[in-house]
């Protein structure tokens, strides 16, 4: 079992920045990828960014590429998402996920590959 706890959400104006954190605990040694996903009101959950934890290789959705940066600490137990140049369409609940499936290396934002999820942290961007 892996427990994930997100923090760092809040309300900002367009153009502003936020940094999300996700603390992982439990049996984390089998984690291959960690990722950030978001769900806007009335929409399904979508992948934002993920990282292949062994080598720190990031992957981004087109909607956030160049604005968001995913990273992890040296112990690979805390995941970060630095969000810059925020837009109103970035508004949503942001979830951290952990995957132990090797498939996440080739389809890094496929939600089905992620077995563990946090409770989410709300991000609101006003125009």
Contact 95, 118 (CB under 8 A): yes
- As a whole number, mean pLDDT of residues 90-96 equals 98
Residue 40's pLDDT is: 96
- Output b/e per residue, 75-99; b: 16+ Cβ within 10 A: ebbbbbbebeebeeebbbbbbbbbb
- As a whole number, mean pLDDT of residues 50-73 equals 96
Confidence bin at 28 (pLDDT 50/70/90): confident
Residue 76's pLDDT is: 85
Q: How far apart are CA 110 and CA 52, in angstroms?
A: 13
Confidence bin at 110 (pLDDT 50/70/90): very high
Residue 80's pLDDT is: 98
């Amino acid at each position: 079992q892996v427990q994930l706890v997100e923090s760092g959400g809040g309300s900002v104006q367009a153009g502003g920045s936020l940094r999300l954190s996700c603390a992982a605990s439990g049996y984390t040694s089998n984690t291959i990828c960690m990722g950030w996903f978001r769900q806007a009101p009335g929409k399904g959950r979508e992948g934002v960014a993920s990282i292949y934890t062994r080598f720190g290789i990031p992957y981004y959705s087109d909607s956030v590429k160049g604005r968001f940066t995913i990273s992890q600490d040296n112990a690979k137990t805390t995941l970060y998402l630095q969000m810059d140049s925020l837009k109103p369409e970035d508004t949503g609940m942001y979830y951290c996920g952990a995957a132990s499936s090797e498939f996440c290396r080739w389809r890094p934002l496929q939600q089905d590959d992620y077995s563990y999820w946090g409770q989410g942290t709300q991000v609101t961007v006003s125009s």
